[in-house]
């Protein structure tokens, strides 16, 4: 075999190997690109807020270090300045009992009580009748208190940031959390504690 034929065979073999690696490399790049696109698409969460029945709000307390997240059934109620009563239980161990006819909220020791009647602005704080500016709401098994009522009759301050869906609940001053220190009026009615 002549040197020229050997050179042509080597050139053809080298050319075939180079073409194979070009094709293999291009295919590998395309597969890698599609893999990255698919992985990115799967890692992006899809949330359809219109179809979501519940609206999640986060609750941060300044007096406590942990955050509590509460599912609220009605975003419109929350945006009107109402706070879900069940969130108080999650934050401080407040006892909430009742139904659509009447609700009783007591502090963890049971010594101070607030009684509420849904769709009414009359409340009872430690046995004393008070008239609130706004009515108490009851919807889908949840009682909602107006934030101004919470601030007026408890040591709590509540604010709500609609853009971040964040409630901030804090106590007045640096005192320990207790539920109704502002209005220590009289003995707690026994009928409320018996519920």
Give the span between the Cα atoms of 130 and 132, in whole angstroms.
6
Claim to verify: residue 21 and residue 63 sit in the same structural domain: no
From the list 79, 82, 86, 87, the residue with the least C-alpha distance to 103 is 86
Claim to verify: residue 33 and residue 60 sit in the same structural domain: no
What is the tally of structural domains in the chain?
2
Which residue has tokens 């239980």? 89
Q: What is the mean pLDDT of residues 72-77?
A: 63
Claim to verify: residue 14 and residue 74 sit in the same structural domain: no
CATH number at residue 109: 3.30.457.10
183 three-class SS: helix
Claim to verify: residue 64 and residue 20 sit in the same structural domain: no
Q: Give the pLDDT of residue 75.
A: 64
Q: Given a cut of 80, is residue 156 above it in pLDDT?
A: no
How many CB atoms within 10 Å of residue 144?
Answer: 25
Tell me if 123 sits within 8 A of 114, measured CB to CB.
yes
54: confidence class by pLDDT, cuts 50, 70, 90: very low
- The whole-model pTM stands at 0.49
Gyration radius from the chain CA atoms: 32
Which structural domain range is residue 145 located in? Answer: 55-193
């Amino acid at each position: 075999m002549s040197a020229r034929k050997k050179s042509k065979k080597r050139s053809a073999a080298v050319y075939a190997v180079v073409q194979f690696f070009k094709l293999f490399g291009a295919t590998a790049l395309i597969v890698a690109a599609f893999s990255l696109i698919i992985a990115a698409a799967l890692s992006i969460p899809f949330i359809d807020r219109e179809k979501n029945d519940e609206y999640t709000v986060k609750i941060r307390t300044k007096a406590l270090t942990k955050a509590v997240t509460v599912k609220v059934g009605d975003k419109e109620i929350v945006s009107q300045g109402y706070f879900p009563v069940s969130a108080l239980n999650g934050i401080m161990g407040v006892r909430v009992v009742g139904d659509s006819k009447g609700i009783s909220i007591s502090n963890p020791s049971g010594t101070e009580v607030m009684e509420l009647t849904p769709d009414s602005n009359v409340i009872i704080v430690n046995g004393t009748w008070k008239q609130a500016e706004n009515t108490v709401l009851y919807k889908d098994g949840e009682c909602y208190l107006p934030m101004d009522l919470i601030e007026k009759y408890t040591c709590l301050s509540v604010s709500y940031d609609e853009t971040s869906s964040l409630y901030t609940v804090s106590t007045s001053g640096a005192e320990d959390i207790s539920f109704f220190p502002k209005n220590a009026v009289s003995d707690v009615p026994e009928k409320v504690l018996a519920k």
